[in-house]
Amino acid sequence: MGLVSQRRQLLLTVSILAVCLAGFSFPSAVSYRRPPSRPDVRVSRRLDDDGSTPQQPLASRRPWMVTQGNHEVEISTPPFTAYNARWRMPFEDSGSTSNLYYSFSVAGVHVVMLGSYTDFDPSSAQYKWLQSDLAQVDRTKTPWLVVLIHAPWYNTNKAHQGETESVDMKKYMESLLYNARADVVFTGHVHAYERFTRVYEDQADDCGPIHITVGDGGNREGLATKYIDPQLEISIFREASFGHGELEVVNATHALWTWHRNDDGEDVVSDSLWIKSISSVDSCKV
């Protein structure tokens, strides 16, 4: 039986700022109309409402599973008051104590949503929750492990270099995802597209996750057009264009990733990759 004929009816589709998974959409930052500075909670609530209203036609027809970005950071006590009130996720179902990080499983995929803008060091609640959550993943039931984070851990764009949300979170948590054999890590934040090879600790690694930045869904700040040269060998494809991505999970072993450039006035596939799940690779099993 051919690969295409084995295709499941339940598919995973992802586009950060429009990432879809079996009927779910995943924006990685929900308030790009908000200025980058941290407003007080009253201004934050108004900006959240202004930014969310245009999203209602889609969000009312398809569930949105979100994680916070830097534009959701506000001056309030407790923090993320406006975000948590408007974008409450089912975090309790995965044993999380915070709306800023959680997980769920759907269509053979375990999805982990992490928070770049809450504590993530080894003593933090998020770190301990992630350890526990990954330890409970059953790859016979969910052969795919997909992670979403706002700030990228791998990035050759000149924008957002050296930020603690990227550098330190990678330092503390990368080994957890590697040892759990995560398949793909999707990020946003950088307003451009970039796909890395399977990687761990800055080196190509067949058992590491593929890192993909899809921060190009559209925003008030424009695109991040400048990249660091020469291009690193682990960076396979990069382009500063508006677009979105789709991850179609075909079966337990194969998925198709496509990135669609939207600048052409029509839906154009500009980058694609067939991905084999790490759980099906004997040499990577732990």
Coil, strand, or helix at residue 152? Answer: coil
Contacts of 238 (CB under 8 A, 6+ apart): 156, 157, 192, 193, 194, 195, 227, 231
Q: What is the dihedral sign for C-alpha 93, 75, 18, 215? A: negative
203-204 and 20-21 beta bridge pairing: unpaired
Contacts of 11 (CB under 8 A, 6+ apart): 22, 107, 248, 249, 250
- Respond yes or no: is residue 211 known to be catalytic: no
Run of H or E including 204: strand 203-204
**Catalytic member of 71, 110, 150, 160:** 160
Catalytic residue set:
160
